[in-house]
C-alpha cells in the first residue's frame, strides 16, 4: 500500500508516457488533471492486487478517443460521472478502481474519481502498455465480461451499452458514440472481483510507471544518461537513435493514424527507421526490416532528457531514441496474440518476441 500525491505524480506521468508506446492520452495533461483532483480532495491510496478483499467490486475507468483531439479538448471529470453511471446501472458500488491501460493520461485517469470518492486504486491495469481500441484488454482475453459499459462526455451526455456480442462490437459502438461526442470521452465498466483482477490484469504497472519516471527524474538531476536509467528500471533495448525527418499524421475515425520517419544518428548514421502508429506505435522497420511489433512495446523518448514523446506531439526535427520492451506475459499466449498481435492490426507478419541482448 502506498499513496499518490502531488509530489509523485510527475514521475508516474513520465513513466506511463514511456510505457504508453506513444498513446494513452497526453501524460502531462493527465498529470495536471489528477494533481488538481488530489489538491482538492486529498491523496489516493494504491493497493496491490493481493491487498484486495475477496468481496471487492473493482471498476475499470478510462478515456477513449483521439490523442490529437485530447490535447485541445481537455477532459473534465467525465470519468467520475461514468463511474456513477455504471454503479447506478449495475446496482453495485465500487470498492476500488483500476486503470484500463498504464499508458499516458489513462494511467492516472482513475486518480480523479478516486480522489473525489476516497476509493483506492489497484496497482495493475488491463494492458501493461497502451492500445488504440477498447477490446484490446487482458481482462477480456481471459474471461472478464466486456459489458455493460457507461460512456460519458463533458456536456453531460451518458450512454449505456448494456449488451454486445463481442468486445470488438463494444469498441465499434463506443467509438462511433465517441466521435459524436467530439472524439473525447470517458468510460467505466461493470465491477470485477478480486480474483478476476489477480488473474486477468497486468500486475504492478502503476509502481513500474513510477519507478521508470523517477529514474528519469533522478538521472536529470544528476546529469546522467536518462536512456540508461530507463533501461535499468525496466529491462529493454535501444532500437534506434536519430532525428525525425518526416511525419504523416491524421485524425480518422476517432484515431490518430500515420507514420514517422527517423534518420539515424551516431551508431545508426546512414540508416532509417519508420514507425507506424494507430494512436500507439505498432510496428518498427529498420531499413525496411521489421525489428519490433505489437504487442511488444515501441516507445519514443527525447534522447537527451528521456521525456516520452507521444504520437500527437511528434514533430519534425526532434532528436529521439526508440526503445523496445518485451510485452507482458499475458499478451504472448496464442489467444492473446490473436487479439493484439501484428496480424490483428493488418500486418502480414507473425509476432517475433523482442530479444534483449
Query: DSSP 3-state assignment of 357?
Result: coil
Q: What is the mean pLDDT of residues 77-97?
A: 96
The confidence score (pLDDT) of residue 253 equals 66
Q: How many CB atoms lie within 10 A of CB 246?
A: 12
Mean pLDDT over the full length of the chain: 94
- Distance CA(18)–CA(212), nearest Å, equals 8
Q: How many CB atoms lie within 10 A of CB 130?
A: 31
Which of 65-69, 121-125, 181-185 bottoms out in mean pLDDT, i.e. has the lowest?
65-69
In this model, does residue 259 exceed pLDDT 80?
Answer: yes
Q: What is the mean pLDDT of residues 288-305?
A: 96
Is cis: bond before 148, omega within 30 of 0?
yes
For strand 319-325 and strand 237-252, is the pairing parallel, antiparallel, or unpaired? antiparallel
The confidence score (pLDDT) of residue 198 equals 98
Which of 203-217, 245-259, 299-313 bottoms out in mean pLDDT, i.e. has the lowest?
245-259
- φ/ψ of 4, rounded to 5, equals -100, 125
The confidence score (pLDDT) of residue 105 equals 86
Q: What is the mean pLDDT of residues 205-226?
A: 97
In this model, does residue 254 exceed pLDDT 70?
Answer: no
In this model, does residue 240 exceed pLDDT 80?
Answer: yes
User: Residues of the chain with pLDDT > 90: what percent?
Assistant: 84
Residues 6+ apart with CB under 8 A from 314: 22, 244, 247, 249, 260, 300
59: left (phi over 0), alpha (psi -120 to 50) or beta: beta
- Distance CA(258)–CA(248), nearest Å, equals 5
Q: What is the mean pLDDT of residues 245-270?
A: 89
Q: What is the pLDDT of residues 24-64, one digit of tens each?
A: 878 888 889 999 999 999 999 999 999 999 999 999 999 98
* Count helices and strands in the chain by DSSP H and E runs: 11, 16
The confidence score (pLDDT) of residue 29 equals 86
Residue-range domains of the chain with CATH: 2-203 (3.40.1610.10), 226-345 (2.40.390.10)
> Position of cell 470518492?
117
Is cis: bond before 179, omega within 30 of 0?
no
CA distances from 129 to 220, 261, 294, 331 (A): 24, 22, 10, 11
The confidence score (pLDDT) of residue 250 equals 84
Amino acid at each position: 500500500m502506498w499513496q499518490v500525491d502531488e509530489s509523485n505524480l510527475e514521475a508516474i506521468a513520465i513513466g506511463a508516457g514511456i510505457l504508453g508506446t506513444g498513446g494513452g492520452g497526453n501524460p502531462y495533461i493527465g498529470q495536471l488533471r489528477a494533481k488538481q483532483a488530489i489538491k482538492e480532495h486529498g491523496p489516493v491510496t494504491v493497493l496491490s492486487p493481493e491487498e484486495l478483499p475477496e468481496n471487492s467490486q473493482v471498476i475499470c475507468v478510462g478515456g477513449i478517443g483521439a490523442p490529437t483531439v485530447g490535447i485541445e479538448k481537455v477532459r473534465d471529470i467525465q470519468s467520475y460521472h461514468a463511474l456513477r453511471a455504471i454503479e447506478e446501472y449495475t446496482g453495485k458500488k465500487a470498492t476500488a478502481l483500476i486503470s484500463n491501460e498504464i499508458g499516458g493520461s489513462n494511467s492516472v485517469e482513475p486518480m480523479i474519481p478516486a480522489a473525489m470518492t476516497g476509493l483506492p486504486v489497484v496497482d495493475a491495469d488491463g494492458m501493461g502498455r497502451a492500445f488504440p481500441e477498447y477490446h484490446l484488454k487482458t481482462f477480456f482475453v481471459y474471461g472478464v465480461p466486456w459489458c455493460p459499459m457507461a460512456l460519458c462526455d463533458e456536456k453531460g451526455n451518458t450512454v449505456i451499452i448494456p449488451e454486445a456480442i463481442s468486445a470488438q462490437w463494444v469498441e465499434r459502438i463506443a467509438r462511433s458514440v465517441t466521435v459524436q461526442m467530439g472524439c473525447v470521452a470517458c468510460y467505466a465498466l461493470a465491477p470485477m472481483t478480486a480474483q478476476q483482477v489477480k488473474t486477468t490484469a497486468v500486475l504492478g504497472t502503476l509502481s513500474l510507471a513510477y519507478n521508470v519516471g523517477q529514474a528519469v527524474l533522478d538521472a536529470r538531476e544528476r546529469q546522467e544518461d536518462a536512456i540508461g536509467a530507463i533501461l535499468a528500471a525496466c529491462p529493454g533495448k535501444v532500437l534506434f537513435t536519430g532525428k525525425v525527418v518526416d511525419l504523416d499524421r491524421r485524425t480518422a475515425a476517432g484515431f490518430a493514424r500515420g507514420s514517422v520517419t527517423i534518420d539515424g544518428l551516431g551508431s545508426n548514421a546512414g540508416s532509417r527507421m519508420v514507425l507506424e502508429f494507430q494512436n500507439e506505435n505498432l510496428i518498427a522497420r529498420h531499413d525496411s526490416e521489421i525489428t519490433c511489433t505489437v504487442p511488444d512495446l515501441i516507445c519514443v523518448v527525447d534522447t537527451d532528457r528521456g521525456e516520452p514523446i507521444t504520437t500527437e506531439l511528434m514533430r519534425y526535427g526532434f532528436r529521439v531514441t526508440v526503445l523496445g520492451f518485451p510485452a507482458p506475459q499475458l499478451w504472448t499466449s496464442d489467444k492473446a496474440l490473436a487479439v493484439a498481435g501484428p496480424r490483428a492490426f493488418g500486418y502480414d507478419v507473425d509476432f517475433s518476441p523482442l530479444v534483449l541482448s
